[in-house]
Amino acid sequence: MPTEAHADVDAELHELLADGDVAHLQHWLAEHPPHVIADELARADEVHSVLLFRLLQKDEAVEVFEELDPGDQQKILNGLREPAFHDIVEEMDPDDRARLLGEAPAHFTQRVLSGLSPHERRLTAELLGYDQDAVGRWMSPETVLLKEHTTVAEALARVRAVGADAETVYTLPVVDAQRGLTGVVALRDLVLADPAQQLTDLVDTECVRVKATDSAESAARLMQEANLLDLPVVDSEERVVGLLTIDDALEVIEAADTEDFARQSAAQPLEGHYLAAGVFKIARSRIVWLFLLIVAATLTAKVLQAFEGELEEVTQLAVFIPLLVGTGGNVGAQAATGAVRALAVGELRPSDVFKIAWRECRVGFLLGVGLGAVGFVLATIMTNKDIALTVSFSLVAICAWAAVVGASMPLLAKRLGIDPAVISAPLVTTLVDATGLIIYFLIARTVLGLG
């Protein structure tokens, strides 16, 4: 087994697909682990991915299928005939199925649900009642529940009896007669304990829990902070409805970070595999913000029109406009990104806004002094000392201002209940540009004695 699982597998595979070489394709499939195969299916077009999928052994097909994103799962399922279709759907974990259905058109949902056993259908429907971003969508309802007043030996016997169907047996919720959560036991503690011991000695009654309607991202970050393998999920009456397992939490965090990355560059997050997205889909994910930003950018044009007299008098002032607005934008973007990330991982709260604004003001001033010195030298070489002075004074003021605006806006957004990640670098840049130009021309008037 190679340690580097991803080393150019696709070149070989493409050749086999082009040749339609079934025997070698089957050999290739047998040699690669499910996540690698899933990755290739996601990258391939519909015809090839369905072809490859049908060549898989049934057990492996299920494993590969579970590794796929909902969009890719639909791509495969659409290409399968009824018996194969239902075999796959029936074998999926209920939470994965709910996620697949959450994004599918209604007739597709119909086709999936109609093929399920009553038990499987109930589990999926239960999960489907929750919001897109709720813990309920990601939790595993198939858990092993233990009763409070048993011995370790009895508890282990119960794990053996019903554990095969559960998604995890490493964290075992302990419940009272009404299915209310009283605590959790780790399988590790059960295995290491004396079989005759009472379960109550091992139960962690202080365990963290979340509601099924809570945000999946917060729950996942909580698991990371508190180093939990599984997090019990309860309903509004504190009854256990499932467990959020760490592999699902990891997926939640990766998806949230991917979304934040996209938002930070003023794009909508793309669903599905990056390579599978078409030109129009990508353009659609980017155009909305670009429209808003270009309209906002007319503010810069308005400001420059207002100072057209100064520009005509000293054309050289125009030479440094991109440098000044660019630097202001960079400083603002750095401050904004730092604040957005600190909010996302829980290191910062909206109430910190004044503390942060003051700190960033000083940081921006320091940066401005450093950059102003560089700007002075560069501008002196290129033009004259008066313009150089204007440029460097402007840099100090613009950097301090940009840092304050960049760091405060995500905090204010959060206060207003808006996702702080929409305060993207391009948004901050655009807003800082216009004010930066005003600062520049006001300083130019004073230094150069214009107007």
Q: How far is the CB of 185 from its own copies (least distance, A)?
A: 13
Q: How far is the CB of 304 from its own copies (least distance, A)?
A: 4
Q: Following DSSP, what letter does each residue of 221-270 receive, concatenated?
A: HHHHHTT-SEEEEE-TTSBEEEEEEHHHHHHHHHHHHHHHHHHHTT-PPP
Confirm or reject binding of residue 287 to its own copies (CB under 8 A).
yes
Containing 288, the helix (H) or strand (E) segment is helix 279-306
Confirm or reject binding of residue 341 to its own copies (CB under 8 A).
yes
Q: Following DSSP, what letter does each residue of 15-80 receive, concatenated?
A: HHHHHT-HHHHHHHHHHS-HHHHHHHHHHS-HHHHHHHHHTS-HHHHHHHHHHS-HHHHHHHHHTS
Q: How many CB atoms lie within 10 A of CB 305?
A: 10
- In the block, tokens 């996702």 appear at 419
Confirm or reject binding of residue 382 to its own copies (CB under 8 A).
yes
Nearer to its own copies, 74 or 435 (CB): 435
Nearer to its own copies, 173 or 375 (CB): 375
Separation of alpha carbons 292 and 418, rounded Å: 17
Confirm or reject binding of residue 273 to its own copies (CB under 8 A).
yes
Of 137, 65, 67, the residue nearest 101 (C-alpha): 137
Q: How far is the CB of 411 from its own copies (least distance, A)?
A: 12
- Identified binder of its own copies from the candidate list 16, 56, 68, 249, rule CB under 8 A: 249
Q: How far is the CB of 386 from its own copies (least distance, A)?
A: 16
Q: How far is CA 310 from CA 114, 117, 304, 360, in A?
A: 73, 77, 9, 32
Q: How far is the CB of 110 from its own copies (least distance, A)?
A: 29
Tokens (6 digits) for 220: 């996942």
Q: How far is the CB of 269 from its own copies (least distance, A)?
A: 10
- Identified binder of its own copies from the candidate list 22, 47, 294, 418, rule CB under 8 A: 294
Of 137, 58, 75, 4, the residue nearest 277 (C-alpha): 75
- Identified binder of its own copies from the candidate list 375, 392, 413, 435, rule CB under 8 A: 375
Q: How far is the CB of 113 from its own copies (least distance, A)?
A: 25
Coil/strand/helix, residue 186: strand
Confirm or reject binding of residue 260 to its own copies (CB under 8 A).
yes
Q: What is the dihedral angle through the alpha carbons of 384, 390, 391, 393, rounded to the nearest 10 degrees?
A: 140
Nearer to its own copies, 2 or 83 (CB): 2
Tokens (6 digits) for 216: 């999946």
Q: Following DSSP, what letter does each residue of 322-387 receive, concatenated?
A: HHHHHHHHHHHHHHHHHHHHHHHTTS--GGGHHHHHHHHHHHHHHHHHHHHHHHHHHHHHHS-HHH
Confirm or reject binding of residue 390 to its own copies (CB under 8 A).
no
C-alpha triplet 329, 330, 332: angle, nearest 5°: 65
Confirm or reject binding of residue 58 to its own copies (CB under 8 A).
no
Q: Are strands 230-234 and 210-211 parallel, antiparallel or unpaired?
A: parallel
- Identified binder of its own copies from the candidate list 12, 318, 385, 418, rule CB under 8 A: 318
Nearer to its own copies, 98 or 220 (CB): 220
Separation of alpha carbons 240 and 385, rounded Å: 73
Q: How far is the CB of 420 from its own copies (least distance, A)?
A: 12
Confirm or reject binding of residue 72 to its own copies (CB under 8 A).
no
Confirm or reject binding of residue 283 to its own copies (CB under 8 A).
yes
User: Which residues, 3 to 32, sit near its own copies by CB under 8 A?
Assistant: 3, 5-6, 8, 10
User: Which residues, 150 to 209, sit near its own copies by CB under 8 A?
Assistant: 156, 159-160, 163-164, 168-170, 187-188, 191-192, 206-209
- Identified binder of its own copies from the candidate list 180, 261, 354, 418, rule CB under 8 A: 261
Q: How far is the CB of 102 from its own copies (least distance, A)?
A: 20
The stretch among 35-43, 49-57, 71-79, 100-108 that binds its own copies (CB under 8 A) is: 35-43
User: Which residues, 74 to 103, sit near its own copies by CB under 8 A?
Assistant: none
Confirm or reject binding of residue 443 to its own copies (CB under 8 A).
no
Confirm or reject binding of residue 418 to its own copies (CB under 8 A).
no
Separation of alpha carbons 380 and 412, rounded Å: 40
Q: How far is the CB of 81 from its own copies (least distance, A)?
A: 28
- Identified binder of its own copies from the candidate list 242, 338, 410, 420, rule CB under 8 A: 338
The stretch among 100-108, 111-119, 423-431, 441-449 that binds its own copies (CB under 8 A) is: 423-431
Containing 181, the helix (H) or strand (E) segment is strand 181-186
Per-residue x/- mask for its own copies, residues 203 to 242, rule CB under 8 A? Answer: ---xxxxxx--x-------xxxxxxxx-------------
Separation of alpha carbons 205 and 193, rounded Å: 18
